[in-house]
Structure 1
Amino acid sequence: MAYAALVLSADRHAGDAVAVAAGVDCKALAPVGGVPMVRRVVHALQASPLIQRITLVGPSRALLHREPEIERLLEQAAIRWTANANSPSASTAQALAAEPPEQAVLVTTADHALLSPAIVNHFLEQAQQSHCDFVVAVTRLDTVMARFPHTRRTAIRLRGGPYCGCNLFAFMTERGRTLAPFWRSIEQERKRPWRVIVGALGLGAIVRYLCGRLTLEQALARLSKKLGITIGVVVLPFAEAAVDVDTAADLSLVEKILAENASSIGTV
């Protein structure tokens, strides 16, 4: 199966903390290890044999003019660009509408600075095998903390977890795209997952969640039934998959990780 990839690259709001810390006009252009984050994400996607085309969703073309390699790829039609909407979920819905209905689509973000072809391939291969309409990637919090003990990640505390989101989503079927309106509610409450759970799954589910008895599989089964689509999950073994750059501290962490990786390669 060949996938189209959408890279959400616009800032959520003006004055993004990472952009300010990096001295750039858009977070996607913030350099890590000397390379703008959006370019790292594009390179990871280009290196995957499962990705047939890539579309940047935002930021403005005027801002992208300042990133020479991305501008060159756009001019050569090696990647595409489309304007963003007023939120990530709205931008996703708008960009999905431009893709053929039968096209499987991967959605990720430009601040996924540690994304690698191995992460992309693993997720998409597992997503295809799931036979679901929509698939989301997560990583167990203990996997992340074992690799990066000093980081802080938002986690959903379901039984078998907790789990961290990985900013990787696969819309496998046309029916799966109906999830976009629900995604907006998740986006609005992304720091308060219990509100999403009680709103979607009911009071009984929130009680089990608070008691630590609601599993990820139970939550997805209930949500699938409520929305009329099949929702799957891939639990990734890669700690790096859960590290996006939301804060200046995240930026420093990613810089440190890349420096350590370069050093270990140099000593082999």
Structure 2
Amino acid sequence: MNDTRLTIILLAGQRPGVDPLASHFGIERKALVPVAGRPMLDRVAQTLLKRDDVGRLVIVGQAPEGFFEHPQTRWLRGDPRVETHDGPGSIVEAILGAIAARGLQWPILVTTADNVLLSNAMVDAFVAGAAGADIGVALVERRTLEAAYPGNKRTWLRFRGGAYSGANLFWLGGSGAEKALGVWRGIEQQRKKARAVLGAFGYGLALLIGLRIASLDQAIAIAGRRLGIRAKAVVLPQAEACIDVDKLSDHELVEAIFAARTLLPPN
């Protein structure tokens, strides 16, 4: 297989217990919640598999073969690029488990089944921006989102020069990524996670961020040096990149976005 092709981990699991969004629609699996008439997993997988540069797509979740029982996702079983990995436990454990079990090679792009507004333009911009990094994260600036969707509520990470919300796109570019994931797995396993984060990345970095002395790029660079890896934050220009479908209000917004797109005149 051509080594320049993308390997993608598509996270489609859910937290233990009943997922509120799935329950609202009377189904068990969040990844199969319909958006504009199609399951979320189907939308994201189609966007990715229509790309010429995708070599492998590994769907990770609990009992993932069950996703193919839905009539609108059954087609995934017949695509030779599609694989599955049963990934119980935390997100980091699921990612590391998939890498080991499926023998995945770097680099790896990670996204989620609820990232239903994902587009080729987002993937292109992120891959180009994250190139050369051991680990990369996609973000959207607050001004970008609020200009397009005023009043939308997100969790904002504040740095000198701006506030940012995470987008569900991650780049694992080399063995250094495994080191970073290992650190994060250790944080996930500790009860006092805030203290664990400070221990991993340093109180000095937390102070620089808290006082808004460090810019986003500076903070990412410091965290990377702390771990001995090269880390990048990629700020995407598309507001939709940070709108995932995690709750009913997100679902209503995304439904409205798709409805508005159907009303646009053809180019």
What TM-score does the superposition give when structure 2 sets the normalisation length? 0.89
- Counterpart of 1:163? 164
2-side partners of 1:185 and 1:264: how far apart? Answer: 48
Query: Corresponding residue for 2:152?
Result: 151
Question: Which shifted more, 101-110 or 56-65?
Answer: 56-65
Partner Cα separation in structure 1 for residue 250 and residue 70 of structure 2: 22
What SS class does the counterpart of residue 115 from structure 1 fall into? coil
Are 1:244 and 1:250, in contact at CA under 8 Å, matched by a contact in 2? yes
Contact 2:98–2:104 under 8 Å retained in 1: no
Shifted more, 58-67 versus 104-113: the winner is 58-67
**Identity score, percent:** 33
CA distance in 1, matches of 2:40, 2:185: 25
Aligned to 1:173: 174
CA contact (8 A) 2:38 2:72 kept: no
Q: Give the corresponding residue for 2:210.
A: 210
Q: Could you tell me how far apart the structure 1 residues matched to 2:166 and 2:79 are? A: 33
Q: Deviations over 1:140-196 (max 9, x none)?
A: 11111111112111111111221110011111112322211233367689xx99767
Are 2:21 and 1:23 aligned? Answer: no
| 1:110-165 Cα distance to aligned partner (Å, 9 max, x none) | 0101111111122112222xx11111111111111111112111111111221110
Contact 2:11 2:60 (8 Å CA) reproduced: yes
More moved, 119-128 vs 3-12: 119-128
Alpha-carbon distance in structure 2 between the residues aligned to 1:194 and 1:208: 16
1:243 aligns with 2:243: yes
Are 2:255 and 1:255 equivalent residues in the alignment?
Answer: yes
Q: 1:234 to 1:37 in 2, by over 3 A?
A: same
| Pairing of 1:110-189 with structure 2 (within 5 A) | 110-128=113-131, 131-184=132-185
Cα shift at 1:208: 2.4
Higher-RCO chain (CA-CA 8 Å, sequence separation at least 6): 1
Partner SS for 2:51: coil
- Residue type of the alignment partner of 2:204: G
- Name the counterpart of 2:97: 94
1:9 aligns with: 12
Q: How does 1:223-234 map to 2 (within 5 A)?
A: 223-234=223-234
Gaps of 5+ in 1: none
**Aligned match of 1:51:** 54
Output the CA distance in 1 between the equivalents of 2:256 and 2:5: 34
Query: Does residue 39 of structure 1 match 2:42?
Result: yes
Query: What is the number of equivalent residue pairs in this alignment?
Result: 263
Q: CA 1:221 to 1:80, structure 2 compared with 1: closer, same or farther past 3 Å?
A: same
Change (3 A) 1:159 1:115: same
Which residue is equivalent to 1:60?
63
* Cα 1:109/1:188, change in 2 over 3 Å: farther
For residue 82 of structure 1, what is the amino acid of its counterpart? H
Q: Is the 8 A contact 2:134 2:230 kept in 1?
A: yes
TM-score (norm 1): 0.89
CA distance, structure 2, for counterparts of residue 74 and residue 197 of structure 1: 39
d(CA) in 2 for partners of 1:158, 1:188: 27
SS at match of 1:246: coil
SS in structure 2 at match of 1:157 = strand
Letter aligned with residue 44 of structure 1? T
State the 1:81 CA deviation.
1.1
Structure 1 pair 29/52, CA: closer, same or farther in 2 (3 Å)?
same
Structure 1 residue matching 2:122: 3-state secondary structure: helix
- The CA deviation at 1:265 is 4.0
